[in-house]
Structure 1
Amino acid sequence: MFGRLKSYEKKEQVIYLHFEEMTTRIEVLTDSIINVFAGLDSEEHHSTSIEGDKKVPTVYQVEMDSACVTITTSKLIVKVYDEYKVDFYDAKGKSLCKDYRKSRLQATKQSKEAKELALMEGHQISNSEEAENKIIVIKEMEEDEAFYGLGDKTGFLNKRGYEYEMWNTDDPSAHNESYKSLYKSIPFFITLKKNHVFGIFFDNHYKSYFDMGKESDDYYFFAADKGNLDYYFIYGEDMKEIIYHYTYLTGRTPLPQLWTLGYQQSRWSYENEDSVRDIARHFRELDIPCDAIHLDIDYMQDFKVFTWNGKDFPNYIQLIHDLEEEGFKIVTIIDPGVKKEDEYFVYEEGKQNGYFATDTNGDIYVNQVWPGDSVFPNFTEEKVREWWADKQKIMLESGVKGIWNDMNEPASFKGEIPKDVVFSMDGRTTNHEEVHNVYGHFMSKATFDGLKKHDKKRPFVITRACFAGTQKYSTVWTGDNQSLWPHLQMAIPQLINLGMSGIAFAGTDIGGFGHEATKELLSRWIQVGCFSPLCRNHSASGSRYQEPWMFDKKTLDINRKYIKLRYQLIPYLYDLFYESEKTGLPIMRPLILHYQSDEKVKETNDEFLVGENVLVAPVVEQGKRFRAVYLPEGKWVDYWTREVHQGKRIIIKEAPLDICPIYVKSGSIIPNYPDIKYIGEKEIEYLILDLYDGVGSYTHYQDNGEDYAYQKGEYNQYQIELTKEHEVKIRLIYGGYDKKYKGFILRYHGREEKVMLKGDELIIDLK
């Protein structure tokens, strides 16, 4: 395709490479981030993920010999050969990542007759061996290589040996590891080898393909049907640094409002005002903390977005006001499909202004969703996003505090939207084939911008479909899972890989969306859900209700126990979100992120870290009442018994139904809240500090939990240290927020001690 490399020229931080057939370019963004680009579709990047110029002044050298062009930064050596083969080395010349030069393995093709027989029996037949990708990059694969990331894909933590597709897909059937695509497309992965680590972000939002060694043990590849060859090679000393650089490119999860970290209850659907009030009453009477109730599609009039069902919600403003008085926020679903109905204001405005996607004849394209015949806003156009953003004011004026974007793959009932349906991307005419994977991304951006503009608080947006970079605008959930034990098991690697893909704020439907939850399954799921960044119980119409009290007293007590634990840990979670905004690090983390050299955690699918200090090893099998727990290096303290365990070994933990094995790293300081029914129920005057023997330090963050004042310096930071002299030192290291703590409650060795913070420093002897 490219031919022989003839020459190069250097302009600022771009190296133009002149091949026989075309000119390509390598751009040095930083000493650790290199962009490899060939304008096969256009000479411009059409990135929807990267906003703004990410290039920083970087010193580098270029030289050419008979074999290749060599580009050298302080961190990387990049060698470019004939046919645009690109190899990467570290600064010492050690190989990191090389293009594969040999021929691909030819898949064994089934005969036509064999395929017909398999289809008759109902088998799904892959046509992957017949696919011809316009763009393909094949990389050598080493024996010890492991892959992480790629978003919400099914299966296990390490993606080696599997293949995936990036094509946002609404499929409500029971997902398993054979599924190649789900609701999100995040074409980014981290490669871990024994001695080094790197990331690759394939910035192409056409349908793309990732084969992580399924076709051959000798190579892996990524490919796309159309678009440009456009990928970023990201180098770092460890996985944390890779995530830092990747989220520098695509953006980081902004600090959310504090209440959004609370427990949230949902169902398709709470169908009228009385049912919503009844749900709220149960939470308060049964002493189960809760901050939000979600309303699914039945709150709308005939499923028309930005309307209310006057029959079942005749006094919705009063309802929302009353619930807010009791500490509940209302979150409402909004779908992209706009009902095609004359005199319906959203449809009329969009039609008059040309805001909807059209067919190739220029007529508004119509498919069916919940309202029946529906049309689809062209969210990839800025003026349409601004229009949709202003529509959020309707919901805010009714008292709604968050927006839940669903069905935005986009889903449609009369077959997938054809690839030739016409869209535009800020003035550039294109089609659904290019827009499909970023449709939900731009809907989230429009929603975020509208809430921020009209509410002035940090927006709370949830989306089902997304693309790389959506973390700037929205939290996500993993879509329509099922009340199945394999789906609980899969939730852990799904959420961990989303976090490794830049999506720090994510959750699953606790208890499962479809099918029928059992009391044991719900009890075990809440033990995972209470540590998930987004903590929401959601279930489908026609399935069993699965609110915490819908089973028996034991199930209720277990749910209450873990939801209360969630609320105790809110300040710890909030600290992690503050850190995430600065570093991109996820809240829910794989053990491999912090113990990269420990071979035993490369494939750990049923344990995870919350931050760096808390290890959770839930039971995810029916009937099991004990489990093996691997503890990595260091000393770990059993959260329930305070028994100390030496790490780098496996222990057996008894785990009756009400016990989720939890371990805290020695020397940890974990901030806690007192018992509360909802965020903001009372002012926290004394922060509880849960202290674990050892030496350690911790920085705690405090602000008003609502708006953007913290960006102007209105926040506090406390530095807390545990010393080898068995002292705790507490210092106010930054004080820009007027509601400082009066003091702290220290918990250690089964005792509690209240101490006052007089001035900016406090030292307490724990002996």
Structure 2
Amino acid sequence: GFQGMLTLASGTTHHFTKEIQQLKLQVFFETENRLRVKIVDARQSRFEVPITTPKVTNAATNLQYKVETRSDPFGFIVTRKDNGVVILNTTVGPLIYADQFIQLSSSLPTHDIYGLGERRGNALVSTNWNRLLFWARDQIPKDHANLYGDHPFYIGLENDGKAHGVFLLNSNAKEIELQPSPAVTWRTIGGILDFYVFLGPTPEAVVQQYTDVVGKPFMPPYWPLGFHLCRWGYGTSENTWNKVKEMRAAKIPQVNIEISFILCVEAYETLNAAVNIADVQWNDIDYMQQHLDFTYNHDKFNTLPNMVSDLHNNGQHYVMIIDPGISNNQPKGNYPAYDDGMELDVFIKDPTTMEPIVGVVWPGATVFPDYTHPSIGSYWEKQLLRYYELVKFDGVWIDMNEPSNFGTGSKSGCPNNTLENPPYVPHVTGGALQDRTLCSSAIHHSTTHYNVHSLTGLFEMKATSEALESIRKKRSFVISRSTFPSAGLYGGHWSGDITSTWEDLRKSIVSIINFNMFGIPMVGADICGFSGFTNEELCIRWMQLGAFYPFSRNHNMKAAKAQAPVDFSTSAQVPMRNALLKRYLLLPYLYTLFHSAHVNGTTVARGLFLEFPQDSNTRKIDEQFMWGSGLLISPALYQSASTVNAYFPAGFWYDCTTENLGKRINSNGQYETLQSELHGSIPLHIRGGNIIPAQYPDLNTKKSRKNPFLLLVAPDNTGKACGELYWDDGESLMTENPSITINFVLSGTSLTS
């Protein structure tokens, strides 16, 4: 690479105080397909995001890009070598670099931009003066709002089908504005400019190159691939346990699924299974004593330990919620989570008093662990271990970790300074940085909340994952509401407090697609919606779709009516269970996809535009998606629908539904009208050229794993197909985990492995 010095032109005024007089430009040719460009203050250090990224000492060769600079005005230009496409050209506008306002603009080679989250909207991001906001917030998902996570990474699909990606590694409050020329403007109010540019050339290659930087996703245990059930409002452990028992009693009627595609198996196979449809039971905050973390209510939830033992005895698992807010109003010596934190001095501090900053969350007055503190790991593990000795939980659900505060800043207010009232405030929801969170000038171990606010969820995930592995000596399972790049190393995400509407049903697919691009493939949405009132038709359709979320959980709030499958009519339960039966049948394939994500950084669920970038028809499609490259999922997403207008990219596609099993579509890139009756099957198609490993399902994932395997073989137009199965014990730490990978190849009538 190279570097150079930039000096502020004399007479330059941008109406921002403390403009940096001298900058250093650093350009790193890290790999042949990855470029890093940093612009930093040449004279003093500024905050940089403390995540681990690759340390490259030698410049790469055989570069697929060319970098040029211009001096008047300053800018850099990144060009794709093989065809001359300009990926970035920042000479289109001035670089502004002040202490609390940094802005850089660039031309874009395409209008087809994807990613940039967390947000609610379409997969294809509008470039029509579209301002996107980045500042983690406890916000019910809605359009044009900054939501729980901060992911300033996009993928651009160029006119010829090649793809590139751009990632700004910056955790301060930001705006990214897309303009119709097309162009992009990045604005941040702190930190530095630290760009990674990925040359692909395929979208999947871009995601792999991105995860080379932020880290490959964690390898989940096998059991979280099952179906999860939760509700805020069970109220007692007996109610929770009774729901578990109802789910066990509601066994699926014997469903015959004949599995055969042309050359699928030697002969037709028949699947008869009575399947319990809740593999993992969860509890929301109502299990706690007065909403205190690491406690349970010994009156209302007195049988909780017994219930968890019963789950384990039946091959099921248990997950409970933890919030970061720790009550500070308990008598001294009565609440170890607070007492231990005070002893270790691990709480975020009020900038005025230098005592722990106090906000208000579910238990009332609360203080907040500083997840950047060097002692946070031992503190957090101690609290989880103490609770584990009471209740043998299997995974942890971490919520409210933006961090959320029901007030503004703190109970005693925030100072009047430039961190609380910066010269420029991005157009964040609520209008102020401290709205529904902590004071921006709150003190962390080595910096201020202004810099690390959006990192809270990431670092809580890290502490929780590491504690779980230490306590249970098995792979961890953590689901977090707030995320930041690198979060996929430690756990998954659910899309928060969505509403029981057809619109949120449809938009949930975009969340699944986006978070897979962000390197967080263990992602799902609350099936049937979290808030509002679902109905039987909507919940059937949502259960059919949600059976194919990578993370499949039905959950809602206490003010809404119960919506577990057993809360609906017996006729409604049949299509719900049939969808889950298909999921369980395909779990070996899903598990193999997760292993590929863990090793290679590939997506598990992906939009059609990621798999077929050369097909321009796929670029706006976000109501279908794929598992890997082999399975196409085309859900019914509209009220009263009995058909789906589904797009099939060119090739052979084999129907995987019971009604039309093995029917082949030979597509030239066309739409097909598929039957999808409410009480029928969700349309599933296996792509020609794929061999998908499957397994006869049983009462839960533990029992399913003991059943025989089968292969779903879908030849392409040359009579060939291939596939892979990854298998291990489903729970051991990856460092001590014997495993096997089997590759399958079909050529003509010969199937080998």
User: What is the TM-score of this pair, normalised by structure 2?
Assistant: 0.86
Aligned residue in 1 for 2:395: 402
Aligned residue in 1 for 2:327: 339
Aligned residue in 1 for 2:207: 243
**1:391–1:450: 8 Å Cα contact kept in structure 2?**
no
**Aligned CA distance change for structure 1 residues 388 and 42 (closer, same or farther; 3 Å):** farther
SS of equivalent residue, structure 2 residue 242: helix
SS of equivalent residue, structure 1 residue 135: strand
Q: Kindly provide the amino acid, as one letter, of the partner of residue 655 in structure 1.
A: S
**2:28–2:37: 8 Å Cα contact kept in structure 1?**
yes
Aligned residue in 2 for 1:165: 133
Aligned residue in 2 for 1:260: 224
**Aligned CA distance change for structure 1 residues 78 and 153 (closer, same or farther; 3 Å):** same
**Aligned CA distance change for structure 1 residues 705 and 140 (closer, same or farther; 3 Å):** same
- Aligned counterpart in structure 1 of residue 233 of structure 2, from 269, 272, 282: 269
What is the alpha-carbon distance in structure 1 between the residues aligned to residue 443 and residue 470 of structure 2?
Answer: 26
What is the alpha-carbon distance in structure 2 between the residues aligned to residue 163 and residue 33 of structure 1?
Answer: 27
- In the TM superposition, what is the alpha-carbon distance from 1:539 to its structure 2 partner? 0.4
- In the TM superposition, what is the alpha-carbon distance from 1:458 to its structure 2 partner? 0.7
What is the alpha-carbon distance in structure 1 between the residues aligned to residue 88 and residue 216 of structure 2?
Answer: 29
Aligned residue in 1 for 2:522: 505
Q: Kindly provide the amino acid, as one letter, of the partner of residue 376 in structure 1.
A: F
**1:150–1:498: 8 Å Cα contact kept in structure 2?**
no
Correspondence 1:704 to 2:722: no
Correspondence 1:38 to 2:39: yes
What is the alpha-carbon distance in structure 1 between the residues aligned to residue 723 and residue 625 of structure 2?
Answer: 20
Correspondence 1:681 to 2:697: no
**Aligned CA distance change for structure 1 residues 556 and 685 (closer, same or farther; 3 Å):** closer
Aligned residue in 2 for 1:723: 747
- Number of residue pairs aligned between Structure 1 and Structure 2: 669
- In the TM superposition, what is the alpha-carbon distance from 1:370 to its structure 2 partner? 0.3
Aligned residue in 2 for 1:644: 664
Over the matched positions of the two proteins, sequence identity in percent amounts to 26
What is the alpha-carbon distance in structure 1 between the residues aligned to residue 202 and residue 46 of structure 2?
Answer: 28
**1:50–1:249: 8 Å Cα contact kept in structure 2?**
no
- Aligned counterpart in structure 1 of residue 187 of structure 2, from 195, 216, 223: 223
List alignment gaps of at least 5 residues for structure 1.
1-12, 61-72, 105-130, 731-767
Aligned residue in 2 for 1:211: 177
What is the alpha-carbon distance in structure 1 between the residues aligned to residue 3 and residue 306 of structure 2?
Answer: 62
- The farther-off stretch of 89-98 and 571-580 is 89-98
**Aligned CA distance change for structure 1 residues 509 and 446 (closer, same or farther; 3 Å):** same
- Aligned counterpart in structure 1 of residue 675 of structure 2, from 628, 639, 654: 654
SS of equivalent residue, structure 1 residue 567: helix
Correspondence 1:96 to 2:62: no
- Aligned counterpart in structure 1 of residue 115 of structure 2, from 149, 152, 155: 149
Aligned residue in 2 for 1:112: none
SS of equivalent residue, structure 1 residue 184: coil
Deviations 1:460-500 (A, max 9, x none): 00100011111101110000000000000101112101111
Give the 5 Å matches for 1:181-220. Answer: 181-195=146-160, 196-213=162-179, 216-220=180-184
Q: Kindly provide the amino acid, as one letter, of the partner of residue 32 in structure 2.
A: D
Q: Kindly provide the amino acid, as one letter, of the partner of residue 369 in structure 1.
A: V
Aligned residue in 1 for 2:604: 587
**1:339–1:373: 8 Å Cα contact kept in structure 2?**
yes
Give the 5 Å matches for 1:300-699. Answer: 300-340=288-328, 341-343=330-332, 344-361=335-352, 362-397=354-389, 398-415=391-408, 416-425=436-445, 428=446, 430-640=447-657, 641=660, 642-647=662-667, 648-657=669-678, 658-681=680-703, 683-684=705-706, 686-693=708-715, 694-699=719-724
- In the TM superposition, what is the alpha-carbon distance from 1:92 to its structure 2 partner? 3.6
**Aligned CA distance change for structure 1 residues 626 and 49 (closer, same or farther; 3 Å):** farther
Deviations 1:291-342 (A, max 9, x none): 1111111111111111111111223322211221122211010000001123
What is the alpha-carbon distance in structure 2 between the residues aligned to residue 275 and residue 410 of structure 1?
Answer: 30
SS of equivalent residue, structure 1 residue 231: strand
**1:138–1:219: 8 Å Cα contact kept in structure 2?**
yes
What is the alpha-carbon distance in structure 2 between the residues aligned to residue 258 and residue 19 of structure 1?
Answer: 55
What is the alpha-carbon distance in structure 1 between the residues aligned to residue 689 and residue 193 of structure 2?
Answer: 48
Aligned residue in 1 for 2:256: none
User: What is the TM-score of this pair, normalised by structure 1?
Assistant: 0.84
What is the alpha-carbon distance in structure 1 between the residues aligned to residue 235 and residue 463 of structure 2?
Answer: 27
**1:299–1:313: 8 Å Cα contact kept in structure 2?**
yes
**2:221–2:730: 8 Å Cα contact kept in structure 1?**
yes
**Aligned CA distance change for structure 1 residues 480 and 386 (closer, same or farther; 3 Å):** same
Q: Kindly provide the amino acid, as one letter, of the partner of residue 390 in structure 1.
A: K
What is the alpha-carbon distance in structure 2 between the residues aligned to residue 600 and residue 145 of structure 1?
Answer: 15
Aligned residue in 1 for 2:421: none
SS of equivalent residue, structure 1 residue 237: coil
Indicate the structure whose relative CO is greater, using CA pairs within 8 Å and at least 6 residues apart: 2
Aligned residue in 1 for 2:259: none
**Aligned CA distance change for structure 1 residues 698 and 152 (closer, same or farther; 3 Å):** same
**1:357–1:375: 8 Å Cα contact kept in structure 2?**
yes
Aligned residue in 1 for 2:106: 139
- The farther-off stretch of 548-557 and 25-34 is 25-34
What is the alpha-carbon distance in structure 2 between the residues aligned to residue 46 and residue 455 of structure 1?
Answer: 36
**Aligned CA distance change for structure 1 residues 618 and 56 (closer, same or farther; 3 Å):** farther
- In the TM superposition, what is the alpha-carbon distance from 1:151 to its structure 2 partner? 3.3
Deviations 1:32-84 (A, max 9, x none): 22221122498658554741543263345xxxxxxxxxxxx522111122254
- Aligned counterpart in structure 1 of residue 65 of structure 2, from 56, 72, 76: 76
- In the TM superposition, what is the alpha-carbon distance from 1:681 to its structure 2 partner? 2.0
CA RMSD, Structure 1 to Structure 2 (Å): 2.1
**Aligned CA distance change for structure 1 residues 93 and 720 (closer, same or farther; 3 Å):** closer
SS of equivalent residue, structure 1 residue 209: strand
Q: Kindly provide the amino acid, as one letter, of the partner of residue 349 in structure 1.
A: D
- Aligned counterpart in structure 2 of residue 290 of structure 1, from 278, 283, 287: 278
What is the alpha-carbon distance in structure 1 between the residues aligned to residue 338 and residue 229 of structure 2?
Answer: 31
**2:25–2:38: 8 Å Cα contact kept in structure 1?**
yes
SS of equivalent residue, structure 1 residue 462: strand
What is the alpha-carbon distance in structure 1 between the residues aligned to residue 392 and residue 466 of structure 2?
Answer: 18
List alignment gaps of at least 5 residues for structure 2.
9-21, 252-275, 409-435
Q: Kindly provide the amino acid, as one letter, of the partner of residue 263 in structure 1.
A: F
